[in-house]
Amino acid sequence: MAINEQHKDHLNYEELAKLQEEKLQKAVRYACTSSPFYKSLFEQDGISPENIKNRDDFARIPFTTKNDLREAYPYGMAAVPLEKILRIHASSGTTGKPIVAGYTRYDLDCWANAVARICAMAGATQKDIAQVSFGYGLFTGGFGLHYGLERLGATVVPFSSGNTDRQLSLMKDFQTTILVSTPSFALYMAEAAADLGYDPKGFNLKLGLFGGEPCSKAMREDIEEKWGLSATINYGLTEVIGPGIAGECPAKAGMHILEDAYHPEIIDPDTGRVLPDGSTGELVLTPLFKEGFPVLRYRTCDITRLVGEKCACGRTIRRMDYITGRSDDMIIIKGVNVFPSQVEEVLAGFREVSPHYRLVLHKKKGSIKDLEVQVELIPEGFTDRYRELEALEGRIRQSLRSILSMGPRVTLMEPKSLERTTGKAKRIVEKEE
Ligand code: DLL
């Protein structure tokens, strides 16, 4: 089936605003009449859907948070009888109950279209052979990209994650042109390929569709350099639909949000106030088509900004900047706020270390006492000259201090000594002393 919605990438401002307002009103009416959760929320707050006519009225609707969805476990967010739900996905998170998302036939159809648009935007075509190396399961990455790529007409190899040796040999034999995975898995696979004696550039890979976790500039360059492909990044989250919310075009200057399908807002994470265009804050998303488990004004916790300027590719839908952190993964150490992305940026400035790092939070009775940054040396940077290593640790610590206003402990690790994951990289570990 062809994707019939690509023209919506190019709607002019008035057309898009009109379409969005109509869809917003419809989404609000639908949630209020079909979802017991929103019905009671609106009643409590004395809001009537008839009074929500434009985007300003819309901003009066209370936010929905991860906690709301957790409390609704498992089916409290459903707006249709369960027999209309065809598929369930869930995101585990690190604590508490999982968050459940249920999809009707209509949701699955819209979702496949949205992912197809994101893939096409990045440069995927019917001629491509795409290896999906995201986990197939409750995680939305595998199935989401699978059906989107099929909708686009590409040939899909549903490999799932793990089993790297086999993954690589099939990738070679099948002449795979697109690798679909988290950026950290793409990097890990390149390392594994080299270890097995392959030249990663000798594969037929041309394009990477990477997402599900942050990808720094240094990491992207590393992946591109190792595989000899063009790496693109896309963004999404289970609570809103999964992947298929925003993605890069070949200009790679932020990720275009499918604005006809999702309404984005940026808020101040502390006050909840909607911020003016271009400000950095927490992304709030409202999907405009959802039938099964609708959500309104979902607080993603992801920190970014909306880019209003016209993109070189000619698309009119706005872009969101790359995620710089999550409002809920800010670490507070001795009164100082630290985001893992800040550490990553500093580390990227040192050519002696690799993109593999982790933050170890040393805790005593539950509170953080100390931060240790463990980072791997690149094989060429590895030396047994203690003085040199000590001096390098000192320089990294100094740079971190100037950015973070606190100097964490820095430990240089041997190449390939930090654990690799086949899905999202685990950057933060806690150690109770
Ligand atoms: O990770 C959906 C997805 C799958 C997106 C595959 C793209 C590709 P969750 O497991 O619910 O869903 O995790 C969502 O992951 O709130 C972000 O914090 C983070 N995330 C996802 N994509 C990006 C990205 C999927 N491109 C959470 N850059 C989100 C930075 C990302 N963070």
pLDDT tens, position by position, 333-360: 888 889 898 999 999 999 999 999 999 9
| Ligand 1 centroid, distance to 213 Cα (angstroms) | 5
| Ligand 1 centroid, distance to 300 Cα (angstroms) | 10
Does the pLDDT of residue 381 top 90, yes or no? no
pLDDT at 96: 74
pLDDT at 421: 86
Distance, CA of 339 to CA of 374 (rounded, Å): 15
Average pLDDT over residues 154-174: 96
CB 285 within 8 Å of CB 300: yes
* Residue 64: strand pairing partners: 298
Average pLDDT over residues 168-188: 97
Closest CA to 123 of 156, 85, 152: 152
Closest CA to 101 of 279, 241, 274: 241
CB 37 within 8 Å of CB 72: yes
**Regarding the domain with residue range 331-432, which homologous superfamily does it belong to in the CATH classification?**
ANL, C-terminal domain (3.30.300.30)
Reported confidence tier of residue 1, pLDDT bands at 50, 70, 90: very low
| Ligand 1 centroid, distance to 393 Cα (angstroms) | 32
CB 141 within 8 Å of CB 130: no
SS (H, E, C) the chain: CCCCCHHHHHCCHHHHHHHHHHHHHHHHHHHHHHCHHHHHHHHHHCCCHHHCCCHHHHCCCCCECHHHHHHCCCCCCCCCCHHHCCEEEEECCCCCCCEEEEECHHHHHHHHHHHHHHHHHHCCCCCCEEEECCCCCCCHHHHHHHHHHHHHCCEEECCCCCCHHHHHHHHHHCCCCEEEECHHHHHHHHHHHHHCCCCHHHCCCCEEEEECCCCCHHHHHHHHHHHCCEEEEEEEECCCCEEEEEECCCCCCCEEECCCCEEEEEECCCCCCECCCCCEEEEEEEECCCCCCCCCCEEEEEEEEEECCCCCCCCCCCEECCCCEECCCCEEECCEEECHHHHHHHHHCCCCEEEEEEEEEEEECCEEEEEEEEEEECHHHCCCCHHHHHHHHHHHHHHHHHHHCCCCEEEEECCCCCCCCCCCCCCEEEEEC
| Ligand 1 centroid, distance to 288 Cα (angstroms) | 19
The residue whose CA has the least distance to atom 4 of ligand 1 is 141
| Ligand 1 centroid, distance to 403 Cα (angstroms) | 26
Does the pLDDT of residue 3 top 80, yes or no? no
Would you call the peptide bond into 74 cis, given omega within 30 degrees of 0 as the criterion? yes
pLDDT at 20: 93
Which ligand 1 atom is nearest residue 242's CA?
Answer: 2
Average pLDDT over residues 281-293: 98
pLDDT at 53: 87
Does the pLDDT of residue 94 top 60, yes or no? no
421: number of CA atoms within 13 Å, CB side? 15
Reported confidence tier of residue 50, pLDDT bands at 50, 70, 90: very high
- Tell me which residues have their CB closer than 6 angstroms to ligand 1: 91, 134, 139-141, 144, 211-214, 233-238, 242-243, 300, 302, 323, 326
- Per-chain mean pLDDT for the chain: 94
Which two tokens mark 400?
């971190």
| Ligand 1 centroid, distance to 199 Cα (angstroms) | 30
* Residue 358: strand pairing partners: 374
pLDDT at 93: 62
The domains of the chain are located at: 1-327, 331-432
Reported confidence tier of residue 385, pLDDT bands at 50, 70, 90: confident
Q: What is the pLDDT of residues 125-159, one digit of tens each?
A: 999 999 999 999 999 999 999 999 999 999 999 99
Q: Quote the percentage of the chain above a pLDDT of 90.
A: 85
Distance, CA of 345 to CA of 139 (rounded, Å): 28
Q: Quote the percentage of the chain above a pLDDT of 70.
A: 98
Average pLDDT over residues 3-8: 77
pLDDT at 258: 98
Q: What is the pLDDT of residues 309-330, one digit of tens each?
A: 999 999 999 999 999 989 888 8
Amino acid identity of 308? G
Spell 210-219 as b/e; 16+ CB within 10 A means b. Answer: bbbbbbbebb
The residue whose CA has the least distance to atom 16 of ligand 1 is 237
CB 327 within 8 Å of CB 301: yes
Q: What is the pLDDT of residues 228-265, one digit of tens each?
A: 999 999 999 999 999 999 999 999 999 999 999 999 99
Distance, CA of 286 to CA of 64 (rounded, Å): 10
Distance, CA of 433 to CA of 72 (rounded, Å): 35
CATH topology of domain 1-327: Rossmann fold (3.40.50)
Tell me the best of 147, 245, 302 to mutate to test the pocket of ligand 1, counting ligand atoms within 8 Å of each CB and taking the most.
Answer: 302
Which ligand 1 atom is nearest residue 210's CA?
Answer: 8
Residue matched to tokens 């000590």? 390
- Do domains 1-327 and 331-432 share one topology? The answer is no
Average pLDDT over residues 286-291: 98
